[in-house]
Structure 1
Amino acid sequence: MTEFSGLPLSRPWRRFVQRDVLTGLLFVALAGLGLWLSRDYPVGTALRMGTGYMPRMLCWILLGLGAVIAARGFRDPGGDRSDVPIGIEALRPVVLVFTALVVFGLALERLGLVVAILLLVGLGALAGRNLRPAETILAAAFLIVLAWAVFIAGLGLTIPVWPEI
């Protein structure tokens, strides 16, 4: 028997306790939840998109991606990453990325686009093991310019760029 975070596993369950299989199943579950939550949104057509068009399309893509990842992980149980234990240390990046997204959402209207993206990228960068300040600053600058170009200049949304004093 093998162990999974201290729990003994019988042979049939070993294939399911692979990073790729669990990740794929998580993607499928999140996509299913997204499809279920957006079931009442009008989809529309590609030329006249409704409010549910993009969320549903992204959920279908996530569902397909999750199915492919899970199938590959299930088919190849002896992958390079299967010997790395899945434990509590795997929660750190998940919590930091989730926190970064929540902080971005809360900070956007109050602190403006620039500060919100700086917080998003800064907290998100802490989730990685190899934090490189120069790359993090370049990524933040690129995202600020891209977000400004797409959402403010391109679509004309009224998003504050800087904090209001």
Structure 2
Amino acid sequence: MPSFIRHPKDFWTGVIFLIVGLAAVIIGRDYTMGTAGRMGPAYFPTVLGGLLSLIGLAAVVRSFFREADEPIGKFAIKETILILSGVILFAFLIRGAGMVVAVIAIVLMSAFASAKFKWKSGILLAAGLAVFAILVFIKLLGLPIAIFGPWFGG
């Protein structure tokens, strides 16, 4: 790591934010922008990508001036795989099993990635978030998602 980068965590976090933000802006260029009052399909990813890029740029600049308090740790491969598997499992389950099963699966898989995971608190969190997701996405927003999908006769 070059000596002018004084805080490697901020530097690499900023680089990741910049890449993701700029990718959203570039991908959004193919769609119509619209206005703040009448947003087109490019509006949200462009604005969000621009803001994420600004945050990334700020983190990169800050990495040159702020001293690191601790070194970069090891890359958490097992945890990353568990969380990504949870997201893929959610995508697979949402249509067939419904909102409840999909939310419980993603929460438990993600919680299991933590070294502090306990089954009781994980199940309580999953149940609470499943109820919250039903209330917000199905009841309040009216999204056409089954609470229990066709695999369970829903």
Q: Is the 8 A contact 2:103 2:130 kept in 1?
A: yes
State the partner residue of 1:19.
9
Write the mapping of 1:10-159 to structure 2, written as runs, cut at 5 A. Answer: 12=2, 15=5, 18-76=8-66, 78-81=67-70, 83-85=71-73, 87=74, 89-159=75-145
Runs of 5+ unmatched residues, structure 2 = none
C-alpha displacement of 1:108: 0.8
Task: Classify 1:131/1:148 alpha carbon distance in 2 versus 1 (closer, same or farther; 3 Å).
Answer: same
TM (norm. structure 1) is: 0.76
Q: Is the 8 A contact 2:89 2:105 kept in 1?
A: yes
Q: Is the 8 A contact 2:6 2:65 kept in 1?
A: no
Distance 1:43 1:136 in 2: 41
Task: Classify 1:53/1:136 alpha carbon distance in 2 versus 1 (closer, same or farther; 3 Å).
Answer: farther
Amino acid at match of 1:70: V
**Which aligned runs of 4 or more in structure 1 are off by greater than 6 angstroms?**
none
Report the secondary structure of 2:29's partner residue: coil
Larger displacement relative to structure 2 (106-115 or 40-49): 40-49
Distance 2:124 2:4 in 1: 41
Runs of 5+ unmatched residues, structure 1 = 1-8
Residues 65-94 of structure 1: per-residue CA shift (max 9 Å, x gap): 222223333322x3223x244x4x433333
| Aligned Cα root-mean-square deviation (Å) | 2.4
C-alpha displacement of 1:17: 7.5
Percent sequence identity over matched residues? Answer: 30
Report the secondary structure of 1:51's partner residue: coil
Q: Is the 8 A contact 1:28 1:63 kept in 2?
A: yes
TM (norm. structure 2) is: 0.80
